[in-house]
Amino acid sequence: MISLLKENPVYKYTLNCKDCLGEIHWVKSKSFSQEAKKNFKEYLEEQDIDRNKYNGRYKDAIFYELTENRGSERSFSRWIFLKDGTFILWELKGSFLMDFPKDSFKERGYICKEIKF
């Protein structure tokens, strides 16, 4: 598992952040429950993204949660890492995300946005 993540920028950031917690919640398509897939597709639609955009690409995907603390502030993000190298920021709560400039993400909640590193 760790070898799959060793070049992943979100995972690498987590390792180098003393006040961060990274959690792997599911791996492989069979672990992505039908309920979770349904919820993700609903959030895609809410963001005016084709709900079928990622069909056939969930196999060997990794679902990852990152919690960051900076002083009294906390930020939480939920990610889907597709095997093809696509990084999807599924959810963002808080006023910051990793080393991105603070105004990079004006939206909060289930934003379902592909992030390029």
Q: Where are the domains of the chain?
A: 2-115
Which residue in 97, 30, 22, 21 sits closest to 61, CA to CA? 30
CB contact at 8 A, 27 and 1: yes
pLDDT of 2: 75
CA 96 to each of CA 40, 68, 74, 93: distance values in angstroms, whole numbers, following the listed order: 22, 9, 8, 8
pLDDT, the chain, mean = 90
Antiparallel, parallel or unpaired: β 20-27 and 73-81: unpaired
55 burial via Cβ count (<10 Å: 0-12, 13-18, 19+)? exposed
Give pLDDT tens digits for 14-71: 999 999 999 988 765 555 667 778 889 999 999 999 999 999 888 888 889 999 999 9
